[in-house]
């Protein structure tokens, strides 16, 4: 068995409010931004602040809050799509910066909105296989570095941040079975097209999609309509699958924490899946969509506020870039 033993997170100091955005885009109003995406402010990494920096601060906060010594860690998993370098892997750099023993394994994995769920699955597998006993799972993203300054839609949604989670042989939440999925045919619907080996040089190319949004190959592009439809297609089936794998009925789930994509999408998913409002986490207001960290941030906040208590079953789900999706059930 594998358990979550500790959770912390870190947000950059710089804050961009809706008022800040409206000064740049006067055709918007503060209320319009908040109503559309459910975000009032978002934290943005500084010019010299990387995902590795954010992950390090989240890990140090975890160690401090829970009295964990770096020497206890025997594997580091870092989920990021904005690594510090093409090589070496940022997890290896963090092993050294955090003072984790050189006997520990360390690797990055490139995944976004479902990254937390996949990380929990990998960590559980490492423990079940006897490969590790204390896995430090880190999620860190600086999407704002990929967003064009004039892309007001994505700038309103995304915030930067990092989360840290210790997965161990004991803890406060047992990690149950998983349902995972992938559909790479939708890769072009959420992408930064240039900068990698396929298209290494900036192209400066721009086009307009069917919804009238500008697709800039050198910056983050999201086809909002297709991503929205994708979630409506996969999430209901995902819930059925993960409940079945955990031999749990829907009415036995006490709380749901989904990837915090945006307010409209989450409200629609909740209604389609017939989930009671009081059982459903929705809180992007102060942090925005932090990609792979949203689920862990939500879980930590719910625990701190007493929304989640011992004896409860909590369903976690992530879905998005890849396209990919995943869910698991925690037993507190």
pLDDT band of 47, cuts 50, 70, 90:
very high
Same domain membership, residue 248 and residue 144 = no
Which of 92, 165, 259, 273 is catalytic? The answer is 259
Q: Is 119 exposed, middle or buried (0-12, 13-18, 19+ CB in 10 A)?
A: buried
Which of 144, 223, 246, 289 is catalytic? The answer is 289
The pLDDT tens digits of the residues spanning 121-178 come to 999 999 999 999 999 999 999 999 999 998 988 999 999 999 999 999 999 999 999 9
Same domain membership, residue 228 and residue 99 = no
| Count of domains forming the chain | 2
Same domain membership, residue 185 and residue 167 = no
Q: At 192, which helix (H) or strand (E)? A: none
Mean pLDDT, to the nearest integer, of 285-289? 94
Domain end among 139, 156, 171: 171
- Which segment of 109-123, 197-211, 291-305 scores lowest on mean pLDDT? 197-211
Same domain membership, residue 240 and residue 135 = no
Please give the distance of CA 155 from its chain centroid, rounded to a whole number.
17
In this prediction, residue 211 carries a pLDDT of 77
Q: How far apart are CA 328 and CA 178, in angstroms?
A: 5
* Contact call for residues 142 and 275 (beta carbons, < 8 A): no
Same domain membership, residue 248 and residue 212 = yes
Same domain membership, residue 259 and residue 313 = yes
DSSP state of 273: T
205 is catalytic: no
Mean pLDDT, to the nearest integer, of 239-250? 97
pTM of the full predicted structure? Answer: 0.95
- The sign of the dihedral angle between the CA atoms of 277, 281, 284, 286 is positive
Same domain membership, residue 327 and residue 187 = yes
* Contact call for residues 257 and 330 (beta carbons, < 8 A): no
In this prediction, residue 31 carries a pLDDT of 81
Mean pLDDT, to the nearest integer, of 59-84? 97
Same domain membership, residue 217 and residue 128 = no
- The neighbouring-strand residues paired with 202 are none
291: closest CA among 260, 269, 317?
Answer: 260
In this prediction, residue 27 carries a pLDDT of 83
* Contact call for residues 224 and 284 (beta carbons, < 8 A): no
Same domain membership, residue 298 and residue 211 = yes
Domain end among 142, 171, 200: 171
Domain end among 171, 192, 220: 171
In this prediction, residue 48 carries a pLDDT of 96
Same domain membership, residue 34 and residue 154 = yes
92 is catalytic: no
Q: At 143, which helix (H) or strand (E)? A: none
Same domain membership, residue 213 and residue 150 = no
Q: How far apart are CA 159 and CA 288, in angstroms?
A: 5
In the structure encoding, which two tokens stand for residue 36, read together?
A: 């559309």
In this prediction, residue 57 carries a pLDDT of 98
Residue 200's domain is classified under what CATH number? 3.40.47.10
In the structure encoding, which two tokens stand for residue 166, read together?
A: 């210790």
In the structure encoding, which two tokens stand for residue 158, read together?
A: 């995304």
Q: Is 129 exposed, middle or buried (0-12, 13-18, 19+ CB in 10 A)?
A: exposed
In the structure encoding, which two tokens stand for residue 207, read together?
A: 């086009």
Q: How far apart are CA 110 and CA 324, in angstroms?
A: 12
Q: How far apart are CA 286 and CA 65, in angstroms?
A: 22
How many CB atoms are closer than 10 A to CB 116? 31
Which of 92, 113, 273, 302 is catalytic? The answer is 113
pLDDT band of 278, cuts 50, 70, 90:
very high
Same domain membership, residue 185 and residue 165 = no
Residues spanned by the domain of 163: 3-171
């Amino acid at each position: 068995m594998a358990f979550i033993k500790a959770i912390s997170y870190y947000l950059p100091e710089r804050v961009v409010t809706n008022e800040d955005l409206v000064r740049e885009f006067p055709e918007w109003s503060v209320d319009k931004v908040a109503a559309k995406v459910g975000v009032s402010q978002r934290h943005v990494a500084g010019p010299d602040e990387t995902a590795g920096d954010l992950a390090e601060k989240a890990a140090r906060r975890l160690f401090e809050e829970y009295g964990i010594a770096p020497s206890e860690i025997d594997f580091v998993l870092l989920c990021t799509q904005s690594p510090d370098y093409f090589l070496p892997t940022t997890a290896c750099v963090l092993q050294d910066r955090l003072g984790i023993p050189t006997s520990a394994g360390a690797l990055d994995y490139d995944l976004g909105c479902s990254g937390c769920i996949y990380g929990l699955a990998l960590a559980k597998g490492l423990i079940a296989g006897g490969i590790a006993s204390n896995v430090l799972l880190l999620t860190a993203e600086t999407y704002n570095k990929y967003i064009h300054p004039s892309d007001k839609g994505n700038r309103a949604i995304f915030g930067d941040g990092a989360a840290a989670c210790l997965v161990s042989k004991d803890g406060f939440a047992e990690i149950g079975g998983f349902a995972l999925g992938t559909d790479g045919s939708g890769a072009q619907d959420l992408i930064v097209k240039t900068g990698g080996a396929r298209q290494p040089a900036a192209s400066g190319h721009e086009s307009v999609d069917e919804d009238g949004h500008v697709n800039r190959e050198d910056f983050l592009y999201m086809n909002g309509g297709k991503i929205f439809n994708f979630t409506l297609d996969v999430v209901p089936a995902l819930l059925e699958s993960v409940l079945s794998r955990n031999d749990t009925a829907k009415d036995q789930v006490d709380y749901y924490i989904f990837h915090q994509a945006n307010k409209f999408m989450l409200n629609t998913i909740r209604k389609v899946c017939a989930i009671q409002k009081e059982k459903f986490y929705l809180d992007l207001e102060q942090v925005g969509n932090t990609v792979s960290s949203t689920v862990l941030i939500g879980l930590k906040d719910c625990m701190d506020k007493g929304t989640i208590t011992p004896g409860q079953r909590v369903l976690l789900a992530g879905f998005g870039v890849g396209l990919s999706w995943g869910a698991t059930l925690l037993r507190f």
